[in-house]
């Protein structure tokens, strides 16, 4: 059947855009032929849709949970089936999106050293399990784009000097000056290997079992696009581009955030949104704040970027009792354009990164935060500097344990401090993402650290479903209390237009012990004043200081208290949050 004229024009425009991207990435290649191959690989010659620029693909009901495929386990059942059952049992009408961390066969790094991008780890389940989860939740999956496992067939072929793979990896002369290369690890950057004819040094940003792919070879890009097409077919709607900032290598540079890397993100965005205009790209770039923001592009790169500065800044706020730095950071953050937004999180499968607060917290303040976390049972992971020294890279600790106390030591406010942190996250501009262990109040897992030999395992516990269900059903268990307190906040948030990810946000100035901001719905009908006591002492706030409009009726959505005296004041208990709204 002949394609319609409109379809032809869409494909022609798509082909033109791809050629423009490819001219930047591969100026010496035949862009016309490459563009045609990309269109064929994504099957856009048959079905090509028109994305709508600056369209918000989310609203206040969008909330994400982050989990490994085997975080919840049941005897004699594939973990993905168990996870699906657990999500449907506990999170229906709360969470509508799920990020399942790499669910592929892997050799190390808890899934991020991928052996086969096109298979589900048989231990976890199969593609049918993934499809079933994607029918009930928006599914987010990792595109581990920077590197693959040393056990991947591509790398095996590289060592045998056969295709595909013999030219898929980045080889360098070990005598090159690589001192300016930014590293997230302390392991050596290069690994000596034989490719069948000679010994060469391959690039390993994250470790010698994770070999960086060579995107200078367009065949590598085509392989990744083929993988993207498969994931779309398997129900993936949200693509997390893992470690994408390190993608392009150029000797003599930092090899991070290079222009070719940004152009590849733009190209992938073009392909994905023409295949599915409702699909979303999220870039995972654990780097200083200004660099992170650059991955929005001009609303033509990532739809969402991780708000990496939020976890360490919010943690520092709650353990120091001062929101000075958090408030200054919030004032400096540009509102996301329509069609883009922030992904807000305060805990994840990784640690709490310290690079995103470079230039925001002083070395002394970072050291105070680190010392407090070590006092609460946390561990520190390091990165290498170009002078051969090392610097703290991230704090490894469960968020529940991170809230045990302040820089003065442990106290009795752990639960309230923990809930306050999530109330702030839920109210900020952007889409909130809960690490599943935070939703159920999981504590530090030292046995797993000993078993796996790396610090990040401290926050990657695997629960038996029966045991966790018992804890969630026990009113005396802190797991039950945490889950139900957070569930209540989530339910309230989902009903408020002023909490739309792109709703207006302004920072309020109520002192350093009260972190406050104002949200207004896109139609300007609802205002919510988010008032958070981030100290261990009561705070009194005069209502006139936040300029409540006297002709409106105001209510705290969390405490259900109607505020009648506009000239009066409210007293916030330590770590109490109020969401004061004129619409309920």
Start-to-end Cα distance in the chain: 54
369 is in an annotated binding site: no
**CA 483 vs CA 442, 453, 549, 583: distances in Å:** 11, 30, 35, 26
Q: How far apart are CA 455 and CA 397, in angstroms?
A: 8
Tokens of 207: 């470790």
Supply the pTM of this predicted model.
0.96
190 is in an annotated binding site: no
Catalytic residue among 209, 242, 401, 556: 242
Domains of the chain, by residue range, sit at 64-150+218-499, 504-581
pLDDT averaged over the chain? 95
**127-177 pLDDT, tens per residue?**
999 999 999 999 999 999 999 999 999 999 999 999 999 999 999 999 999
Place of tokens 């104002």: 518
**35-79 pLDDT, tens per residue?**
999 999 999 988 899 999 999 999 999 999 999 999 999 999 999
129 is in an annotated binding site: no
Instruction: Output the pLDDT for position 3.
Output: 46
**298-345 pLDDT, tens per residue?**
999 999 999 999 999 999 999 999 999 999 999 999 999 999 999 999
User: The domain 504-581 is classified under which CATH number: 2.60.40.1180, 2.40.50.140, 3.20.20.10, 3.40.50.300?
Assistant: 2.60.40.1180
Place of tokens 């109020």: 578
Residue 360 has pLDDT above 50, yes or no: yes
| Contacts of the segment 468-477: beta carbons below 8 A, 24+ positions apart | 468/72, 468/86, 468/440, 471/440, 472/90, 472/440
75 is in an annotated binding site: no
Per-residue DSSP letter, 51: P
Annotated catalytic residue 411: no
Q: CATH classification of 64-150+218-499 is 3.20.20.80, yes or no?
A: yes
488 is in an annotated binding site: no
147 is in an annotated binding site: yes
């Amino acid at each position: 059947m002949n394609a319609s004229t409109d379809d032809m024009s869409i494909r022609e425009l798509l082909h033109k855009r791809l050629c423009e991207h490819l001219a930047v990435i591969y100026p010496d290649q035949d862009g016309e032929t490459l563009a045609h191959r990309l269109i064929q690989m994504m099957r856009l010659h048959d079905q090509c849709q028109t994305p709508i620029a600056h369209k918000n693909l989310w609203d206040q009901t969008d909330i994400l949970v982050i989990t490994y495929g085997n975080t919840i386990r049941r005897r004699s059942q594939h973990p993905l089936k168990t996870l699906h059952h657990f999500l449907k049992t506990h999170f229906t009408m709360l969470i509508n999106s799920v990020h399942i961390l790499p669910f592929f066969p892997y050799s190390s790094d808890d899934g991020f050293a991928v052996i086969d991008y096109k298979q589900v780890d048989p231990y976890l389940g199969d593609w049918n399990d993934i499809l079933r989860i994607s029918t009930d939740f928006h599914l987010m999956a990792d595109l581990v784009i920077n590197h693959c496992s040393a056990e991947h067939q591509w790398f095996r072929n590289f060592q045998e000097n056969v295709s595909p793979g013999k030219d898929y990896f980045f080889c360098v002369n070990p005598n090159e000056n690589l001192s300016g290369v930014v590293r997230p690890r302390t392991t050596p950057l290069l690994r000596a290997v034989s490719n069948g004819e000679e010994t060469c040094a391959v690039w390993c940003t994250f470790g010698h079992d994770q070999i960086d792919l060579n995107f200078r070879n367009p065949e590598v890009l085509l392989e990744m696009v083929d993988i993207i097409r498969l994931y779309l077919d398997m129900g993936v709607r949200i693509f997390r581009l893992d470690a994408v900032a390190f993608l392009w290598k150029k000797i003599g540079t930092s090899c991070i955030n290079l222009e070719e890397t940004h152009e590849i993100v733009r190209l992938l965005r073009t392909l994905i949104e023409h295949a599915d205009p409702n699909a979303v790209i999220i870039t995972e770039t654990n780097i200083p704040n200004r660099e992170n923001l650059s991955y929005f592009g001009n609303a033509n790169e990532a739809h969402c970027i991780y708000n990496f500065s939020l976890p360490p800044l919010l943690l520092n706020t709650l353990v120091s009792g001062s929101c000075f730095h958090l408030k200054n950071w919030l004032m400096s953050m540009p509102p996301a354009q329509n069609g883009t937004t922030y992904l807000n999180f305060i805990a994840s499968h990784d640690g709490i990164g310290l690079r995103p607060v470079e230039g925001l917290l002083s070395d002394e303040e970072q050291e105070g935060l680190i010392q407090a976390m070590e006092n609460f049972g946390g561990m520190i992971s390091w990165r290498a500097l170009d002078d051969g020294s090392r610097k703290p890279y991230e704090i490894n600790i469960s968020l529940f344990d991170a809230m045990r106390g302040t820089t003065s030591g442990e106290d009795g406010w752990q639960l309230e401090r923990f809930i306050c942190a999530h109330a702030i996250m839920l109210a900020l501009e952007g889409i909130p993402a809960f690490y599943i262990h935070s939703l159920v109040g999981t504590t530090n897992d030292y046995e797993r650290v000993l078993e796996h030999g790396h610090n990040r395992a401290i926050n990657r516990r695997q629960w038996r479903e029966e045991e966790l269900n018992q804890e969630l059903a026990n009113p005396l268990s802190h797991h039950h209390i945490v889950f139900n307190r957070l569930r209540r906040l989530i339910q309230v948030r989902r009903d408020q237009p002023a909490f739309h990810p792109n709703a207006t946000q302004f920072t309020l100035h109520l002192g350093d012990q009260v972190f406050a901001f104002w949200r207004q719905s896109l139609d300007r009908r609802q205002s919510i004043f988010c008032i958070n006591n981030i100290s261990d002492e009561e705070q009194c706030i005069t209502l006139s200081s936040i300029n409540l409009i006297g002709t409106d009726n105001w209510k705290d959505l969390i405490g259900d208290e109607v505020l009648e005296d506009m000239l009066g004041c409210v007293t916030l208990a330590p770590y109490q949050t109020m969401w004061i709204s004129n619409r309920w």
